[in-house]
């Protein structure tokens, strides 16, 4: 039986640090939209999570 964490924000990627504060997940600051996408892809592959979009340009990785 494998025990796994799920439904947890593993990382947050944003261009604008103003939009996020505190919290338990590490926040990664990107300098452009392309960089944000690339960082999100890398993080999702490393963490095995899915990239979600909060709608305001903030990406976050959730393990399902």
Binding site for another protein (CB under 8 A): 37, 40-41, 44-45, 48-55, 59-60, 64
Q: Supply 13's token pair.
A: 């990627």
CB atoms within 10 A of CB 10: 19
Nearest CB to another protein, comparing residues 23 and 47: 47
Exposure string over 36-55, b if 16+ CB within 10 A, otherwise e: beebbeebbeeeebebeeee
- Min dist. Cβ of residue 29 to another protein (A): 17
- Min dist. Cβ of residue 22 to another protein (A): 21
Nearest CB to another protein, comparing residues 23 and 46: 46
């Amino acid at each position: 039986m494998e025990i796994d964490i799920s439904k947890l924000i593993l990382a947050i990627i944003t261009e604008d640090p103003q939009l996020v504060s505190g919290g338990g997940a590490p926040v990664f600051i990107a300098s452009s939209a392309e960089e944000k996408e690339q960082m999100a892809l890398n993080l999702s592959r490393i963490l095995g999570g899915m990239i979600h979009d909060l709608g305001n340009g903030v990406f976050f990785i959730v393990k399902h």
